Structure 1
Amino acid sequence: MARAVPAVERAFDVLELFLEAQELSAPEITAQLGLPRTTVHELVGTLNERGYLMPTGRGSNKYRLGVRSFQLGAAYAERLDLAREGHAVAEEIAERCQETVHVGVREGTDVLYVAKVDSSHPVRMVSAVGRRLPAHCTALGKVLLAELPRTELDDLYAERELQAMTDQSITSGKALREELDEVAADGVAREYRESNESVACVSAPVRDQNGRVVAAMSISVPILRWNDETETALRELVREGATALSERLGHSG
């Protein structure tokens, strides 16, 4: 593996702060990264000059992501078949159930949402493409974690506490493993008020041409519209959606 270049790493550290913040000043970046002020000013100046950061306004001392960052993200999205195909299938499923449909992938112990189609109801999900959530708190994440070998799952959570997002979240490694065994056997995961007190969700795995689970699709419903009959119907529908997306990605199983 090639040696990491410290200056490049620090530049990416600066950019990645903007994944969570819309705008930041050089002093705020300095405080968050613990870098010398001169280093931060040089990094911000270079990123600004190259178009990856830009001032928020004339005379402002704060910066936001620049046009070049958007262009890179757009180029990535254009080439990412999963996001494009996922959105197309999610539109079809959302039209059938009138609820919010997501497609997500796993990154470490998080789920990253790559596609979303909103519910047509006035009460809908507050979520966004690009958002991350702890995988163990979501139906999407449980589907993706359930596909991992037990040794890999143990390594993934060996030194991590299970963060609770609500009082319904799984916080025990033993409880997580037991639920993942059920998900692996059934092929569908459920979540009830585990990442959001007001939301329930079901999810199924999406496979690529080699049969590997590369993503998951979910249907999310406010609990005011959730009941046993709804869950049964949506479990079958999310299976259909995940299968349709898998076929678009070349899976023939």
Structure 2
Amino acid sequence: MTNEENNQQIEPVSSVMKVFAILNAMAEHKSVGVTELSQTVMTSKSTVYRFLQTMKMLGFVSQEGDDDRYSLTLKLFEVSSKALEHVDLVSLTEPYMASIAEQTKEALHLGIRDGDGIIYIYKVDAQYNLRMQSRIGGRNPLYSTAIGKVLLAERPESYIRDVFKDTQFVPSTEKTHRTIDALLEELQQVKVQGYGVDNEEQEEGLRCIGSPIYDRLGNVIAGLSLSFPTLRYTPEKFEKYVSLLQEATSKISEKLGHTK
């Protein structure tokens, strides 16, 4: 590719820029007229009208009756939604997990819900000799894991009770929840603080912190957790780990289309 061709490629195309200027301006209003749009985007009324008619033909804009007021359709949302469907959660999350693992040397897991349990769909092992016993595809209960707690915390009580209606709470350690009522009480705190904790509930001597990942509709679709032995726990480390996880899951959620 020649320098001339390269320069031509990065030259902004004025008509494309005008189309997006119109779209951005329309996004600020339920409906808007040609005159107002032309003033906002600083383009002649005739040019704006031609663009609007083309966008209307393509289904991105609708016209209110025969007047000159136009509004955006959901076509743009449909297009962006299709793009989001192709986002691979693992490939999107992996760089953040690798970064946190490098900073902390501890194990990280990405998990999703499966019935009354969670499934690990990706992991990064700890760089220490003492490691968590887990594997990709492995399953653990919702009620005794940090990821499980963040997957449930924002759900209504009726939904949570329905999830566990046929579940027997089997204690893995002395600290595992024995009843759904005990779990529900903790989930209230998880919802408020924005992260969940497994305090030796799944495995003795092991603590986990989990943070939620949201989709574009604001639903928690996955959880990212960091696990570490209690012997390496300090309040300072704990706060650092929470901050790292929440910063990562916030960025991942944004890339999935979630806005606060």
- Normalising by structure 1, report the TM-score: 0.66
Aligned partners of 1:88 and 1:210: how far apart in 2?
24
1:121 aligned to 2:128?
yes
1:209 aligned residue: 216
Deviations 1:169-214 (A, max 9, x none): 1112111000001101111111111111021011110011222111
- Please list the CA deviations of residues 22-55 of structure 1 after superposition, one character each: whole Å capped at 9, or x if unmatched: xxxxxxxxxxxxxxxxxxxxxxxxxxxxxxxxxx
Query: C-alpha deviations, 1:212-241, integer Å up to 9, x for none?
Result: 111011110011111222212211111112
| Match of residue 133 from structure 1 | 140
1: CA distance between counterparts of 2:259 and 2:247? Answer: 14
Aligned to 2:83: none
Larger radius of gyration: 2
1:200 aligned to 2:198? no
The aligned length equals: 175
Structure 2: unaligned runs, 5 residues or longer? 1-85
Rounded Cα–Cα distance in structure 1 between residues aligned with 2:254 and 2:129: 32
Task: Say if 1:249 and 1:80 are closer, same or farther in 2 by CA, change over 3 A.
Answer: closer
Equivalent residue, structure 1, for 2:233: 226
Return the letter of the residue paired with 1:84.
S
Task: Tell whether the 8 Å contact from 1:134 to 1:163 is kept in structure 2 after alignment.
Answer: no
* Distance (whole Å) between structure 2 residues aligned to residue 92 and residue 158 of structure 1: 39
Which consecutive aligned stretches of 4+ in structure 1 deviate over 6 angstroms post-superposition?
Answer: none
One-letter amino acid of the counterpart of residue 149, structure 1: P
Which residue of 102, 118, 122 corresponds with 1:95? 102
Kindly state the Cα deviation for residue 99 of structure 1 after the two structures are TM-superposed. Answer: 0.9
Alignment match, 1:155: 162
State the shift of 1:155 in Å: 1.1
Cα deviation, 1:48-93, whole Å, max 9, x if unaligned, reads xxxxxxxxxxxxxxxxxxxxxxxxxxxxxxx771122122221122
Q: Distance in 2 between matches of 1:157 and 1:204?
A: 22
The Cα shift of 1:136 comes to: 0.5
TM-score, length of structure 2 as denominator length: 0.64
Separation in 2, partners of 1:203, 1:244 = 15
Aligned-residue sequence identity (percent) comes to 34
Q: Contact conserved, 1:89 with 1:244, CA < 8 A, in 2? A: no
Aligned residue for 1:172?
179
In the alignment, structure 1 segments of 5+ residues that lack a partner are: 1-78
